[in-house]
Amino acid sequence: MKQLRIMSVFGTRPEAIKMCPLVRELASRPGIESLCCVTAQHRQMLDAVLEVFSLRPDWDLDIMTPRQTLSGITSKCLLGMDEAIDTLKPDMILVHGDTSTTFAGALSAYYHQVAVGHVEAGLRTYDKYAPFPEEMNRVLTSGIADMHFCPTAGNRENLIREGRTENLFVTGNTVIDALKTTVREDYRFSTEELNLLPYGKKKVILVTCHRRENYGEPMKNIMLALRQIAEERQDVELVYPVHLSPVVREAVDTYLRGAPRVHLIEPLPADEMHNLLARCYLVLTDSGGLQEEAPALGKPVLVLRRETERPEAVTAGTVKLAGVVQDDIVTMAERLICDKDAYEKMARAVNPYGDGNACRRIADAIEWRYGLRPERPADYEA
């Protein structure tokens, strides 16, 4: 019997972390041929993830250039995808989340009249410029998708409110599947500096920052806030794996480099990052993925943004919006550093984002849609 050809398309670090476990799960199904096409919107940061998950793509568009523009990414993805689809002839294309690769991958599938499954569907802020351009990427991708894999029931509700009522599946987030394979109590870092950090003795604060809408004034404020925290508090160590974006690096070099107790390091492989997350005291970040991972590990998160599309963790109490004003960030961080009760209230391990079986549910749903499985998979309930 002819196997169903499912082609996963991704290009950035977070998409790769969240899609590699799914590519593997699909490959384990006898009725499915699991193909993987990377756009390499991120080159080094993507390759680092592929290495951790030992995955070799079937197709590589290799589009990344320094300081790439949104139009540049989108147009290169579209042109490159033509040949990938014509050659690999998938029955369905899976895209993930809300990057430019996501939208261009879905649009390209549509131009070729190939079905689209959207993994991590239904996240919304309802502000089209925050996050930018992710909010519009995910709205447009929802418009194209034939199957919507929602991490949470709230994400499904968002799609229903928009009039999309068919083919919605609540699966949990595949990032929890990934986390289950990477975090180990006896983990030894290959980055020696991380083995030497004074976990337990001092408060190790994990920092990341990269969002486009934070470029300029907000990023400057964030860097100055980090500097102030590090200068004022001898009981903290800040660890910051700096994103490879030159815009981010310039802000770090201008406003943060040289501050005491700040460890500026290169981006970490996913397994190193997840284990550092498991050991740190607190997370300051504008990352989407970290807002999902940290609650599962009982680490409070202050989000360096004005909004979040991940309200579940805010409701659960482990994530708070700190905004992008220097004083606000410093005040909120200092409270969590000094006030044990405030810290303990946030540091409860809650996990609204999945039970580690999201990939199984997604693969089951695809099999069901194509008649390879009699029953629709049950929705994930938090």
Contact footprint for ligand UD1 (CB under 6 A): 12-14, 41-45, 66-68, 70, 73, 98-100, 133-134, 210, 212, 244-246
Query: CA 274, CA 146: separation in Å to the nearest integer?
Result: 32
Residues 6+ apart with CB under 8 A from 275: 182, 183, 184, 187, 189
Query: CA 155, CA 168: separation in Å to the nearest integer?
Result: 10
**Which residues from 212-241 bind ligand UDP, rule CB under 6 A?**
241
State the nearest-atom distance from the C-beta of 99 to ligand UD1, in Å: 3
CB nearer to ligand UDP: give 29 or 279.
Answer: 279
CB nearer to ligand UDP: give 183 or 342.
Answer: 183
Choose the binding region for ligand UDP from 224-232, 270-278, 328-336, 365-373 (rule: CB under 6 A). Answer: 270-278
State the nearest-atom distance from the C-beta of 67 to ligand UDP, in Å: 17
118 in active site: no
The token pair at 369 is: 């849609």
State the nearest-atom distance from the C-beta of 301 to ligand UDP, in Å: 12
**37 membership: H or E segment, kind and range:** strand 32-38
**343 membership: H or E segment, kind and range:** helix 340-346
State the nearest-atom distance from the C-beta of 228 to ligand UD1, in Å: 25
Candidates 289, 300, 323, 377: give the one binding ligand UDP (CB under 6 A): 289
Query: CA 308, CA 229: separation in Å to the nearest integer?
Result: 23
146 in active site: no
Q: Of these residues, 25, 60, 134, 293, which one is catalytic?
A: 134
The token pair at 311 is: 């309200």
Burial class (CB in 10 A: 0-12, 13-18, 19+), 31: middle
293 binding ligand UDP? (CB under 6 A): yes
CB nearer to ligand UD1: give 202 or 249.
Answer: 249
Q: Of these residues, 29, 96, 124, 243, which one is catalytic?
A: 243
CB nearer to ligand UD1: give 182 or 285.
Answer: 285
CA distances from 50 to 8, 22, 46, 53, 247 (A): 13, 13, 6, 5, 25
State the nearest-atom distance from the C-beta of 345 to ligand UD1, in Å: 29
Query: CA 348, CA 316: separation in Å to the nearest integer?
Result: 9
Query: CA 358, CA 379: separation in Å to the nearest integer?
Result: 10
286 in active site: no
**Which residues from 11-40 bind ligand UDP, rule CB under 6 A?**
13-14, 17
Strands ordered across the beta sheet of 236-241 = 262-265, 236-241, 203-208, 282-285, 301-303, 319-321
CB nearer to ligand UD1: give 216 or 246.
Answer: 246
Binding footprint of ligand UDP on the chain (CB under 6 A) = 13-14, 17, 208, 210, 241, 267-268, 270, 273-274, 287-290, 293
Catalytic center residues? 98, 120, 134, 210, 212, 243
